[in-house]
Chains A and B, each alone.
Chain A
Amino acid sequence: MAHVEIENVSKAYGPYKIIEGLDLKVADEEFVVLVGPSGCGKTTTLRMIAGLEAVTGGTIRIGNRDVTQLRPGLRNCAMVFQNYALYPHMTVSENIGYGMKVRGESRASIEKAVNEVARVLDLEQYLQRRPKQLSGGQRQRVAIGRAIVRSPDVFLFDEPLSNLDAKLRIEMRTEIKALHRRLAKTIVYVTHDQVEAMTMADRVVVMNKGRIEQAADPITIYEKPSNLFVAGFMGAPSMNFIDGEIIARDGALTFTAPSGTALRVPRSREAAYAASVGKAVVLGVRPDHVLRQGAPEGSSVRLLVKDVEPLGPHTLVIGTVAGFAFTAQMPVGVAAEPDQVIDVALDLERTHMFDKTSGMAIS
C-alpha cells in the first residue's frame, strides 16, 4: 500500500508564498497528473513529496508513514527528472545500478536487476554506452530504468517528456502508461502539457497559483470544468468565452451579449441558470461544440472571420464573436474567407456557463 497524502501543505520562499494549504490524496496504484501553467507550484509539490524541497507547513504521508521530516533517500520514492539527471561519467548499466551499489548489494544481484530492467526498456544493446552517446529518448529510458530498478513505493515524474520531439513524446507516453499497468505502482506525474495530462492520467489535478483548481478524471475535467481557469486551460484549441447576461424573456431564458448576440438557453438548463438571471455571466463554448446542420432558432452566433486554418480532418475558423476571440471547428471545405461574417450554429446543450464574478461553473 503506497498511497500519498498531502495534508494542508504550504511552501514559502521567504515572504513569497508559493503554495498554501494544499490537500491531495493519491490512491495506491493511481496515476495522478499535476498540470498547470509555469509557476503554479506543481513541480514544487512533486519535489516536496520527494523530499528535495522542505515543506513550510503541513504533513506528507506515503503509505501511512509520515515522511514530512525524512530525507529524500528514506522516502522510497524514485524520480525521473526533466533533464534526465544521468551520471555523465557512468555507463548506462552503472547508471541504472548506482542506487543498488550505494546500498551495498552484491555485484551479481545488481547485474541481474540491471539486465532485467534493460530487457523491459529495450536498452540491452546500450548498457556499455555513456549518456552522451545516447539519443534523448534513450536517455529518458535510462532515467526511467534507474527509477524502476529499485521498485520504489512511488514514482515521481517531473516533466519527463518536455525535452523530446513531438513524435517521440507520443511514443514515450504510451510506454510510460504501459509501464504503469505492468508495475502497478503509484505515480505522480508533473507536466504543463494538457494533452499529456488528458491521455495518461487516471486523475488530473489542475493547479493554478499554488492551489488545486480541480481534481478529477480526464473526461470530467474536459466536460465539466469547475471554473473558468480549468475550462480555459484544458482542451486545445482552448474554450471560447463570451461575456454576457442571462435574461428572462417570453417565459424562457436567453443569453445575450453585445452586438445583438442572443442564444436561447435549452430547457434542460433553465432550472440551473434561473438563479443567475440578471447577473454577469460568461458563456463557454468549445471549438467543437458547433452544429453542422439542423440548427434550431436562436442558437447561432455571427463570427467575423480573421483566419482560416485547414488542419486536414477539419478546419479551424478563427475570428471574433461580439468582440470576443472565437475559434470554431468546422467541416473541411467550409465557405469562409477572412473579413467575412458567417453564422455559426452552437450545440447549446454542451456549452458551459460561468459566474463572471466568482469564475465558478453554474450548473
Chain B
Amino acid sequence: MMRNDPIKHVFIWPAVLVVLAISIFPLIYSLTTSFLSYRLIPPIPPRVVWLGNYATLLQEPRFWNAIFTTTLIAFIAVGLQYAIGFGVALALNARVPGERLFRVALLLPMLLAPVAVALVARMMFNPTMGPLNQLLSKFGLVNLPFLTNGHWALACIIAVEVWQWTPFVILMMLAGLQTLPEDVYEAAELENASAWQQFWGITFPMLLPISAAIVFIRLIESYKIMDTVFVMTGGGPGVDTETLTLFAYQEGFKKFNLGYTSALSFLFLIAITIIGVTYLALLRPHLEKRR
C-alpha cells in the first residue's frame, strides 16, 4: 500500500474520533468547567472566575486534609503491601509443602470486588456488633473504637487495603522470582554468601525493576482509593478519613458544585503527576544501571 493512499484516513479517523469523544473532550470540558463558577443547586448561570476555584481550594484546609489522608493511606498501605507481598512471594518460591494451595488462597482477596470487601470489613470492625470487639470482650479486654476514632479508622482502611492488594504484589514478585537464574545463586552459595547476603546482594537488586513498576502501579491506584473508604467510613468520623476522591465526590455529587469539583480533579491530576515524576526520577539512576 502506498504511503499516500487516502484509505488510511478511513482507518485512522474513527479511532481518533472515538478517543477525542471519550477522553480528550471530557478532559477539555472539565478543564473549562474548572474556570467557571458552576453550580446546579441552587441553579445559578455559570460565571467565569478563571483561577478562582483553584485559589479557594488551595486555601481550603479540608482539601489539604484530604491530600494528607490520601498520601498517608497510599504510602503506608503500599509500603506494607510491598514488604509483606515480597516476603510471602519469597516463601512461596521456596517450594514449601502445600505451596499451590497457599498460592491460590493468597490470591483470592485480589479477585473480590472492593465494595464487597469493604462491606465485610465494616461489619468485622463494627464497634458494637463486630466480631472483633466481641472477641475482645470474650477475653475481658476493652472494646476498640475501630471506625469511630479517626486514627483507628485510618488504620482499619489501611489494613483492608493491605489485605486486598498484597496478593497483587505476591503475584508479580513471584513471577519475577521465578525468572531469576538458579546458577547465580549456586555461585553465591559457593562464595559462602548467607541467605541474607544473597537476598540483599542478588535477589533484591535483580528484582528492583519489577519492584519499581509494582510500587508505581500500586501507588497510583492507592491515590484513587474510593470504594473502600466510601463504604467503611464515608470519610468519617468528621473528615478524618476523607480522601481526595471522596472529597471530590462530596463536592460534585452532594453539593453539585461542578466548577469547584473540576478544579479539584485537576489539582488531583497535578498532584499524582508530580508524585509519579518524582518517583521515577528518584529511581532512574538505580534502574539505568541495570540496563
B192 touches A85 (CB 8 A): no
- Which one, A75, A83, A102, A103, contacts B181 given CB within 8 A? A83
Judge if A89 is at the interface, Cβ distance under 8 Å.
yes
Q: Show 13 residue pairs from A and B whose CB-CB distance is below 8 angstroms, ordered by the A residue.
A: A51-B189, A52-B186, A73-B192, A77-B190, A79-B186, A79-B190, A87-B188, A98-B193, A98-B201, A99-B193, A102-B188, A102-B192, A103-B192
- Which parts of B183-204 form the interface with A (CB within 8 Å)? 183-184, 186-194, 197, 201-202
A117 and B188 alpha carbons, distance in the complex (Å):
19
Residue of chain A at shortest CB distance from B194 = A102
Given contacts A77-B190, A88-B206, 5 further A-B contacts (CB under 8 A): A79-B190, A87-B184, A87-B201, A102-B197, A146-B187
Q: Beyond A83-B183, A98-B201, A102-B201, is A89–B206 a contact (Cβ under 8 Å)?
A: yes
Residue of chain A at shortest CB distance from B204 = A89
Residues of A close to B206: CB separation below 8 A? 88-89
B289 touches A89 (CB 8 A): yes
A73 touches B202 (CB 8 A): no
Residue of chain B at shortest CB distance from A104 = B197
Judge if A335 is at the interface, Cβ distance under 8 Å.
no
A52 touches B189 (CB 8 A): yes
Judge if A311 is at the interface, Cβ distance under 8 Å.
no
Residue of chain B at shortest CB distance from A158 = B183
* B57 vs chain A, min Cβ distance (A): 44
Residues of B close to A236: CB separation below 8 A? none
- Which parts of A192-222 form the interface with B (CB within 8 Å)? none
Judge if B205 is at the interface, Cβ distance under 8 Å.
yes
Judge if A229 is at the interface, Cβ distance under 8 Å.
no
Judge if B290 is at the interface, Cβ distance under 8 Å.
yes
B187 touches A85 (CB 8 A): yes
Q: Beyond A102-B191, A102-B197, A103-B192, is A87–B202 a contact (Cβ under 8 Å)?
A: yes
Q: Beyond A81-B183, A85-B181, A89-B205, is A71–B193 a contact (Cβ under 8 Å)?
A: no
Q: Beyond A102-B192, A103-B192, is A85–B186 a contact (Cβ under 8 Å)?
A: yes
Residue of chain B at shortest CB distance from A102 = B193
Judge if A74 is at the interface, Cβ distance under 8 Å.
yes
* B11 vs chain A, min Cβ distance (A): 39
Judge if A72 is at the interface, Cβ distance under 8 Å.
yes
Residue of chain B at shortest CB distance from A133 = B291
Residues of B close to A79: CB separation below 8 A? 186-187, 190
Judge if A114 is at the interface, Cβ distance under 8 Å.
no
- Chain A interface SS verdict (over half): loop
A86 and B188 alpha carbons, distance in the complex (Å):
10
Q: Give the B interface residue count (CB, 8 A).
A: 21
Q: How large is the interface on A (under 10, 10 to 19, 20 to 34, 35 or more residues)?
A: 20 to 34
Judge if A348 is at the interface, Cβ distance under 8 Å.
no
- Which parts of B215-236 form the interface with A (CB within 8 Å)? none
Residues of A close to B186: CB separation below 8 A? 50, 52, 72, 79, 81, 85
Residues of B close to A98: CB separation below 8 A? 188, 191, 193, 201
- Which parts of A125-173 form the interface with B (CB within 8 Å)? 130, 132, 146, 150
- Which one, B184, B189, B205, B208, contacts A73 given CB within 8 A? B189
- Which one, B187, B193, B194, B289, contacts A81 given CB within 8 A? B187
Interface centre among B181, B184, B187, B189 (most CB of A within 10 A): B187
- Which parts of A69-101 form the interface with B (CB within 8 Å)? 71-75, 77-79, 81-83, 85-89, 98-99
* A63 vs chain B, min Cβ distance (A): 17
Residues of B close to A87: CB separation below 8 A? 184, 187-188, 201-202
A79 and B208 alpha carbons, distance in the complex (Å):
27
* A131 vs chain B, min Cβ distance (A): 10
A75 and B190 alpha carbons, distance in the complex (Å):
8
Residues of A close to B202: CB separation below 8 A? 87, 89
* A44 vs chain B, min Cβ distance (A): 14
* A190 vs chain B, min Cβ distance (A): 14
* A87 vs chain B, min Cβ distance (A): 6
B191 touches A85 (CB 8 A): no
B290 touches A89 (CB 8 A): yes
Q: Beyond A71-B189, A77-B190, A78-B190, is A85–B201 a contact (Cβ under 8 Å)?
A: no
Residues of A close to B187: CB separation below 8 A? 79, 81, 85-87, 146
Residues of B close to A73: CB separation below 8 A? 189-193
Residues of A close to B290: CB separation below 8 A? 88-89
Residue of chain A at shortest CB distance from B183 = A85
* B193 vs chain A, min Cβ distance (A): 4
Residues of A close to B184: CB separation below 8 A? 85-88
Residues of B close to A146: CB separation below 8 A? 187
* A90 vs chain B, min Cβ distance (A): 8
A89 and B183 alpha carbons, distance in the complex (Å):
15
Residues of B close to A83: CB separation below 8 A? 181, 183
B181 touches A72 (CB 8 A): no
Residues of B close to A74: CB separation below 8 A? 192
Residues of B close to A51: CB separation below 8 A? 189-190
A99 touches B183 (CB 8 A): no
10 closest cross-chain pairs (CB), A and B: A73-B192, A99-B191, A85-B183, A85-B187, A102-B193, A89-B205, A72-B189, A72-B190, A81-B183, A85-B184
Residues of A close to B192: CB separation below 8 A? 72-74, 99, 102-103
- Which parts of B102-134 form the interface with A (CB within 8 Å)? none
* A165 vs chain B, min Cβ distance (A): 21
Residue of chain B at shortest CB distance from A75 = B190
